[in-house]
Chain A
Amino acid sequence: MSHNEMYSLQVNGVKHEVKDAWVGESLLYVLRERLGLPGSKGACEQGECGSCTVFVDGQAVCSCLVMAAAAVESEIATVEGLSPDGTLTDVQQAFVDEGAVQCGFCTPGLVMAVHHLLDENTDPSEHEIKEALSGNICRCTGYGRIFAAVDTAIARRKETAL
């Protein structure tokens, strides 16, 4: 198992060099351990929990199931890139306001999933919201406050659009 891979990844609009990597490293591992972007969380490493959700070429995917060295031609966006100046996005603010965060481990993945949903569908039904978040596991909240946060974000976007 040789650690001699060298490649670059385009993350949040910035080109990052990766050196001395092993070919099988997941994008999640490379983001966290090599690029200093620990916002995406690692738990199950088999695509079941969604806490590592990132966008690859605009699609929300589990970064633990993306081979980093094969993503060199893709645009990658992580939770750190949602708001480069550090202010909260509307979805993040709604999570705070609705108390949708308890231990917080699942939050970055959920925030990414909600952004992806609302960017594609400005007025999702309850069923569509549940479907969109079905790949993100939260063991604290019971999801009630998370759905409230999604509703709040939708309502605020509608107000802003008026």
Chain B
Amino acid sequence: MPVHIPHSITEATQLLSDIPDATLLNGGTDLMVEINFNHRKPNNVISLRGINELRSWSLDETTQKIFIGSGVPYSEIENGELKRMLPALAAASRTVGSPQIRAAGTMGGNLGTCSPAGDTLPVLAALDAEIHLASVDGVRSMPFSEFVVGPKRNSKQANELITGVSIPSANGWQGYSKVGVRNAMVISVASACLAIQNDSLRIALGSVGPTIIRCSETENWWNNAINSGSQVTDSLVEEFSRRVASEARPIDDHRSTAEYRRHAISVLAKRLLQRSTQS
């Protein structure tokens, strides 16, 4: 039976250990496109859709961190309680594909594919989310910055399963913006998440480099300026926008040009900063 449908994480990791070449299937919105276009021909598939543990989320009241299972669909993140606690993640989720895609697609898939255009990834980078993995050898967790190692490459081992993500509940303004060729159903040309968390500004960029880029230099410059009493003036905002764009490392490809991406990311950074200071 080449499609395996485990009903627990333990069962799934055992299967992964027994069948090292198995392909993992979650929402299918990436994998099925590759299969439909003959780019991939899997022989063994492990479907994760039957594992309830992966399809739930929970709030740890003590740490104020939210665990979101890797199989929770975007349609659940963009609304309700999760939207209130994680507004930037909800906004990013809402820009994924169409309602049909969001009903199927999951953050586990975004992390597994690990494309620099993954819509939720700048949010995970900005908020220092932790990624949780499981295998027959046990469980381990790592910050998002260690999880991503290159374009479409992550530090998940072949026998490991992404079980979920822990993200701190928002305690300041946060937002997400994305540019694409139209409003609905689009893969981003540039995207950014800006969050004020624990009174410090963080900003991470998508689609403008080989991986998600966290603008640490700009963050430090801005936070030092604000902490030493600088007023948020138009020229300071312009300088922020310029510095963010200079940290981007965009390329020309079939979706856009490096020049446009650098311009777009400077506009997104400026808008997000203005929204954060006006709120």
Contact = CB atoms under 8 A, between A and B. Distances in A.
A binds B: yes
Interface of A: 1-2, 5, 7, 23-24, 26, 45-48, 50, 53, 56, 59-62, 64-67, 69-70, 72-73, 113, 131-132, 134-136
B104 A72 contact: no
Interface string B1-43: 0110100000000000000000001011101110111001111
A73 B50 contact: yes
17 contacts: A24-B42, A45-B37, A46-B36, A46-B37, A47-B98, A50-B100, A59-B103, A60-B103, A64-B32, A65-B32, A65-B101, A66-B28, A67-B28, A67-B31, A67-B35, A70-B28, A134-B183
Chain B interface bracket (under 10, 10 to 19, 20 to 34, 35 or more) = 20 to 34
B41 A64 contact: no
B184 interface: yes
B184 A65 contact: no
Nearest to B50: A73
Given A45-B37, A46-B33, A47-B98, 7 more contacts: A23-B42, A23-B43, A24-B40, A61-B103, A73-B5, A132-B99, A134-B98
B75 to A, nearest CB: 7
B49 interface: yes
B43 to A, nearest CB: 7
Of B25, B41, B101, the most chain A CB neighbours within 10 A belong to B101
B100 A61 contact: yes
B104 A62 contact: yes
Contacts of B31: 67
B98 A65 contact: no
Contacts of A26: 32, 35-36
Of B33, B100, B104, the most chain A CB neighbours within 10 A belong to B100
B100 A135 contact: yes
Nearest to B30: A65
Contacts of B36: 26, 45-46, 64
